[in-house]
Amino acid sequence: MPDNTTLDAYLASWAGEDALRGDVARVITLMVEAGVVIADIVGRGALEEAMGAQTDATNAGGDAQKALDVRTHDIVVDLLKDSPVARVGSEEAKEEVVFDDARPLVVAMDPLDGSSNIETNVSIGTLFGVLPNDGATSFVQPGRNQLAAGFIVYGPATALVLTVGAGTHVFMLDRASGAFVRTHADVQIPAQTKEYAVNASNQRHWDDAMQAYVGDCLAGAEGPREKNFNMRWVGSLVADVFRILVRGGVYLYPGDARQGYASGRLRLTYECNPIAFVCEQAGGAATDGVRPILDIEPKSLHVRSPLVCGSKDEVERIAQYYAEPPTRSPLFAKRGLFLA
């Protein structure tokens, strides 16, 4: 339930008189201002001309850009240009946007997560991580160095999920007042779950460990897990993870055998790292299947990584599937890696 704490009040209390924290709070406030603008655009749907139209360009990962991808990038960059941010690393720009390297912070962001859902009236969002400015190597720091991270979901409600290293909190936009009000304080992801999120259409490309894990879930109460699982998949990372924060579950985007997907599809610095920070601060976990996401040192701004995140016990169980590769035919097997 709402506790009437506004985002501004929360950040002011957290920052106190600390100058660096004050700068981080300022950047979060600007990211949220950008989010309100983007939410208004998204809320107009097809009334907003060319929102989902393809451009002739591709983003840094080689994906086709839509008009709103570019527009949201520009909105955020314009708001951050006179802030404590030295550089912005964005999915929608191949090169870093450089403002002033004397400034103390950098922002890694995906300005529009789930853009394939733009025209389908499905929740999409903005992901961001705030890091200390470490000069030319700012975006190859491990995610453990993040000072703040979070995401904004543009859905039936506009929600901000935020951590500054003091738990994970959810704030909802009150459109009557224009303020973000805390609705979920110190979120805790249930350690156990009966729900997983995965794009099952890629099953034939997965490695044996992922096939074995999902196969054991699909076997249900008659299988080695001895319980029935539900599968959910929105196709917007922010929407799938928001659901997990609220009711538990595990999100899976493994690497697979398709060309270019050996390391998965998601980008480590501005997708996996913010999600991992949020999940860990909520009592969950996030790995690439084996290693904690936040301990991985990215080789470049746009490097990809597999992602397994959510309920801690389930994330750890999946790591065991990778540590002990199955020797059986994995899918729909009656006996699994973990026996009763």
Binding residues for substrate are: 113-116, 199, 251-253
Distance CA 80, CA 29 (A): 10
Identify residue 217 by its one-letter amino acid code: C
Q: Are 148 and 296 in contact (CB under 8 A)?
A: no
Half-sphere exposure of 137 (CA within 13 A, CB side): 7
Q: Which two tokens stand for residue 20?
A: 């660096």
Q: Which two tokens stand for residue 230?
A: 């539900």
- Residue 156 burial (CB < 10 Å; 0-12/13-18/19+)? exposed
Give me the active site residues, please: 63, 69, 91-92, 110, 112-113, 271
Binding annotation for Mg(2+)? 91, 110, 112-113, 271
Distance CA 52, CA 54 (A): 6
Matching residue, tokens 């912005």:
88
Distance CA 314, CA 18 (A): 38
Distance CA 44, CA 120 (A): 12
Q: Are 173 and 40 in contact (CB under 8 A)?
A: no
Binding annotation? 91, 110, 112-116, 199, 251-253, 271
- Residue 74 burial (CB < 10 Å; 0-12/13-18/19+)? middle
136: left (phi over 0), alpha (psi -120 to 50) or beta: alpha
Closest of 127, 78, 136 to residue 106, by C-alpha: 136
